[in-house]
Every structure is written in structure tokens, then in C-alpha cells.
């Protein structure tokens, strides 16, 4: 049993899901997380001044979800055939479900965004404000009478319907990314339903962090009038509270996950070792635990720091970095365990794909900032005075 063994001949298979797929799963979970966090916060506050932040938490995730297929396309060897998923549909495959869930998610986000911006766009068209012609095209020339608040009141049912549908599809998207990993039967690290909860907790933390970062950027680039600004700053500080609880939940889920792995035979122990002392240990301890959880948790625990712009921005960037590495550690780490030999599998350098992923992220960031200048995020002053 304990005789020395030498491995003379074997085949190395490498890692097939690299950083680009990790980026894909991370961005989806962050986008839907930001939207869910915003919607639940809106249901809690029920405040008109929260609307600009709700628009941030709906339209920006829509942009992310729209560009995500590009990351998948660059990873596939035959992306030109991907439409075949729709009619050669294999119902037992997670990706096949994703092929329907993700586009439907985009549709619901698009309609919800449209209804969020619609009243302000109508007011802007009527009052001849900048970009009125663009808004007229987006509204297909149908301009209603009344203040933005009155128009919003009239469209309340449709807006609520799309909001509810976005909640359903956001959770389906999170289940999809979780199941995408947990479907791999032979990969002990991820073959567990914990993956779904893992992605929900990552979505909550990275989503709240996304809202803090992009909300702060919005108030800097397109600042609202001062009373609304004070309120929005308070809402953004309150996102720090959500971030705090999301980080605690994430910590708890990771502890449960690592304990579970330790009771899942030799393979499970090895999977836990990959995080704790193996090939992904540096990324786990440095990026995921210290930068991604402990430092931001320390920053958002103190109320004064939550209100501090610099501290909250630092916490949000750190959480997003940590969440990305959490997904990468799971996705790449699960493939490091060899199935046919006893050497760690290796992730081959993928400079083209990584560069492409970074370019997509940069494009997204530019689109986010551009949208602040183009779309009517803030409540019109006339609406407030009339209200």
C-alpha cells in the first residue's frame, strides 16, 4: 500500500476553462447581484430620490449582460455555430438552459430600464432639453402629457411586471452560473449545490460593491441638485451595510464549503488543499480572503468609514477583485486536480483571451461613464417642484 510509486507515462490535459470564463461568470453574478440589491433597496426605501440609483443598478447591468456573450464567443472554437444551441437544444445541459436564460434576462432588463427612463425622457422631449431627439426616437415618438411622476404612476403596472421578471431571471442567471460549474460530475471541488449559494453570496457582495463604485462615479460625473445629492450619498453609504452582511454571508458559506470538502474523501481534501496550501493558495489568501473579504469588511464595519468616499470606494474595488478571484479559484482550481496522473494540471498562458477580456471591461467602463452623460438618470427639477 505504501510502496513508492513512480509515474512513467501519462497524458496531461491542462485547464480548459481559463480566466476568460471566470470573468464571464464573475461579471454575470456581479451584474445581476447589483440589480437585485438595488431592487430590494428600492422596495425598502420607496423614495423618489432612489430612482437615479435604481437606474444605475438596472441599465449598467444590462450593458454588462449584453457584452458577456463576446467573452464566451472568444472562448469557443466555433462561435459562428452557437445559434445551433437554440434548435439542437439538449435539455440536460446547463449551457443549453443558459442559452435561453441569459438572452431572456437581457430582454427583461432592457424593458425594465426602458420603463425606468421613460418618464424622464418624455419630460426632456417636451421641454426640448439636450438629446431630446434621441429620446424621441427611443420613445418611438409617443410622448405623454403630465409630469414624470404622473407618467410613472400611469406605467406603474408595466414597470412592476418587468421588475418582477428581472428578479426571476436574475436568480435563474445565478442558478445557471452555479450549475454551470456544479454540473461537472468528476470535479469534486465544484460538483455540489453549494456553488449556487456561493454565486448568490458573491452576487450580493460584488453587486453592492458595484453599486457603491458606480453610484459614487455617477454623483461625481453627473451630480444631482444638492438635496438629492445628500440623500443619494446616504443611500450609497447604506449600500455599505448590505455589503457588510453580504461579506459575512460569503465568509460563512466559504467556511461551510471548506468543511464540506474536508469530509468529501481524498478528492475533497485535495480540493480544500488547493485553496489552503496548494497551487491556488496565494490567490485564495491574498486576493480572496485578505483583499476581497477582510479589508473591505473592516472598512464597512465602521459607520464613519462607510460614509467616507475614499474608504467606500477602496472597499468596493477590493470586494470586486476578491469576488473575481473567488470565481477564478473555483473555476480554474477545480481543473487543477489531475484525473489520470499525479501532477497538478497547468493553466497555459492565454494572453490574447486575457487581453480581450480586459478590453471588454474597459469598453464597459467607458459605456457606463458615457451613459451618465447621455441618459436622464436624475429626476427632472420641474417634476420635483410640481410634486
- Applying CB under 8 A, the residues found at the interface with another protein are 3-11, 13, 16-17, 72, 75-79, 81-82, 84-85, 88-96, 98-99, 157-158, 161, 183-187, 266-267, 269-270, 273, 277-278, 335, 337-342, 344
Q: Shortest distance, CB of residue 273 to another protein, whole angstroms?
A: 4
Residue 76 C-beta: closest distance to another protein, Å? 5
Select 76 or 387, whichever has its Cβ closest to another protein: 76
Q: Which residue, chain included where needed, has cell 438629492?
A: 228
Q: Looking at the chain, how many residues does it have?
A: 387
Question: Which of the 8 DSSP states describes residue 223?
Answer: P
Closest approach, Cβ 144 to another protein, in A, equals 15
Q: Which run of H or E residues covers position 209?
A: helix 194-221
**To the nearest whole angstrom, how small is the minimum distance from the Cβ of residue 343 to another protein?**
8
Grid cell digits, residue 345: 494540471
| 137/157 with CB nearer another protein | 157
Q: Which is nearer to another protein, 269 or 373 (CB)?
A: 269
DSSP symbols for 13-69: ---SS-HHHHHHHHHHHHHHHHHHHHHHHHHHH--GGGHHHHHHHHHHHHHHHHHHH
Q: What angle do helix axes 51-75 and 194-221 make, rounded to 10 degrees?
A: 120
Least separation in angstroms between residue 329's CB and another protein is 16
Shortest Cβ distance from residue 123 to another protein (Å)? 22
Cell numbers 474597459 label which residue? 362
Q: What letters, b where the CB count within 10 A reaches 16 and e where it falls short, cover 313-346? A: bbbbebbbbbbbbbbbbbbbbbbbbbeeeeebbe
Residues 6+ apart with CB under 8 A from 287: 321, 322, 325
DSSP for 160-202?
A: HHHHHHHHHHHHHHHHHHHHHHHT-TT-TTT-STHHHHHHHHH
How many whole angstroms separate alpha carbon 61 and alpha carbon 151? 24
Give 75 or 378: the residue with its C-beta nearer to another protein: 75
Residue 276 or residue 321: which is nearer to another protein going by CB? 276
Shortest distance (Å) from residue 262 CB to another protein? 12
* Between 103 and 338, CB nearer to another protein: 338
Rounded distance between C-alpha atoms, residue 76 and residue 83, angstroms:
13
Nearer Cβ to another protein (67/165): 165
Amino acid at each position: 500500500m505504501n510502496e513508492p510509486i513512480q509515474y512513467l507515462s501519462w497524458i496531461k490535459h491542462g485547464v480548459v476553462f481559463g480566466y476568460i470564463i471566470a470573468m464571464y461568470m464573475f461579471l454575470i453574478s456581479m451584474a445581476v447581484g447589483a440589480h437585485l440589491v438595488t431592487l430590494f433597496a428600492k422596495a425598502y426605501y420607496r423614495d423618489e430620490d432612489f430612482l437615479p440609483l435604481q437606474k444605475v443598478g438596472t441599465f449598467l447591468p444590462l450593458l454588462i449582460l449584453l457584452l458577456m456573450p463576446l467573452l464566451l464567443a472568444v472562448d469557443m472554437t466555433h462561435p459562428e455555430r452557437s445559434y445551433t444551441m437554440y434548435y439542437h437544444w439538449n435539455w440536460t445541459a446547463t449551457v443549453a438552459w443558459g442559452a435561453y436564460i441569459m438572452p431572456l434576462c437581457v430582454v427583461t432588463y432592457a424593458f425594465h430600464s426602458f420603463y425606468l427612463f421613460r418618464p424622464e425622457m418624455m419630460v426632456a422631449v417636451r421641454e426640448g432639453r439636450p438629446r431630446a431627439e434621441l429620446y424621441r426616437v427611443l420613445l418611438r415618438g409617443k410622448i405623454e402629457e403630465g409630469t414624470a411622476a404622473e407618467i410613472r404612476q400611469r406605467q406603474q403596472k408595466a414597470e412592476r411586471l418587468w421588475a418582477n421578471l428581472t428578479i426571476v431571471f436574475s436568480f435563474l442567471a445565478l442558478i445557471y452560473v452555479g450549475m454551470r460549474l456544479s454540473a461537472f460530475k468528476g470535479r469534486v471541488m465544484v460538483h455540489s449545490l453549494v456553488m449556487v449559494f456561493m454565486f448568490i453570496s458573491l452576487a450580493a457582495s460584488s453587486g453592492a460593491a458595484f453599486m457603491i463604485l458606480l453610484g459614487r462615479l455617477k454623483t461625481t460625473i453627473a451630480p444631482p441638485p444638492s438635496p438629492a445629492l445628500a440623500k443619494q450619498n446616504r443611500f450609497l453609504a447604506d449600500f455599505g451595510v448590505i455589503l457588510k452582511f453580504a461579506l459575512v454571508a460569503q465568509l460563512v458559506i466559504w467556511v461551510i464549503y471548506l468543511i464540506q470538502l474536508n469530509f468529501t474523501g481524498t478528492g475533497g481534501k485535495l480540493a480544500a488543499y488547493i485553496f489552503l496550501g496548494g497551487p491556488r493558495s496565494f490567490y485564495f489568501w491574498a486576493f480572496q480572503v485578505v483583499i476581497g473579504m477582510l479589508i473591505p469588511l473592516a472598512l464597512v464595519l465602521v459607520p464613519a468609514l462607510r460614509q467616507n468616499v475614499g474608504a467606500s470606494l477602496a472597499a468596493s474595488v477590493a470586494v470586486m477583485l476578491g469576488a473575481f478571484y473567488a470565481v477564478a479559484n473555483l473555476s480554474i482550481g477545480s481543473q487543477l486536480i489531475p484525473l489520470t496522473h499525479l501532477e497538478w494540471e497547468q493553466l497555459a498562458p492565454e494572453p490574447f483571451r486575457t487581453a480581450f477580456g480586459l478590453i471588454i471591461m474597459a469598453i464597459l467602463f467607458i459605456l457606463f461613464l458615457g451613459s451618465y452623460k447621455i441618459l436622464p438618470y436624475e429626476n427632472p427639477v420641474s417634476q420635483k417642484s410640481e410634486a
